Amino acid sequence: MPKKEIQILIQGEDAEAVAREMAGLIRETLGHETQPRALQPGEAGRDVKIDSGTIGAITGIAALVMSIPSTMLTVMDIKERLERKKQADKLIRDAQNIQEQHPSTIIRVRGGKDGTVRIETIDGNTLIDIAKRSAS
């Protein structure tokens, strides 16, 4: 994975449909065009420990990855961070809704050396922090 991006990993029976919805969501929320690509064997990475416990590795029928440049979410000052947090919160909330509509599909976020985090376990600040660490 290039160092200066975060990735959204989509795995499961509905991965292609979810990827199309996520591409629209990313375009609408961040103004960024992204195309899903097939996830290569072993590329899913490691999972990270979250407050609710360790998230186990997911094996899906289909697996796709979408990349977002880290600079889309990194911030320089508090005013910009508040605006980016609103965007990140909307992206996460809408992604969670998409995942609820496709229960056989898992959406995770990966950035830099952070491992992967399931979309339902993070908030906008966490997504911004992942992007910031990925950009450095």
Q: Is the dihedral of CA 40, 128, 105, 114 positive or negative?
A: positive
May I ask the CATH class of domain 5-135?
A: alpha beta
* Chain segment 12-70, per-residue pLDDT in tens: 888 888 988 998 888 888 888 888 888 766 665 544 333 333 333 333 345 777 787 77
The end-to-end CA distance of the chain, in Å, is: 14
* Chain segment 68-85, per-residue pLDDT in tens: 777 777 766 788 888 889
Q: What is the model's pTM? A: 0.70
Structural element, H or E, at residue 15: helix 15-30
Under a CB-based contact definition with an 8 Å cutoff, are residues 65 and 10 in contact?
yes
Question: How much is the pLDDT for 123?
Answer: 92
| Coil, helix or strand at residue 11 | strand
Which two three-digit tokens encode residue 74?
Answer: 């990194």
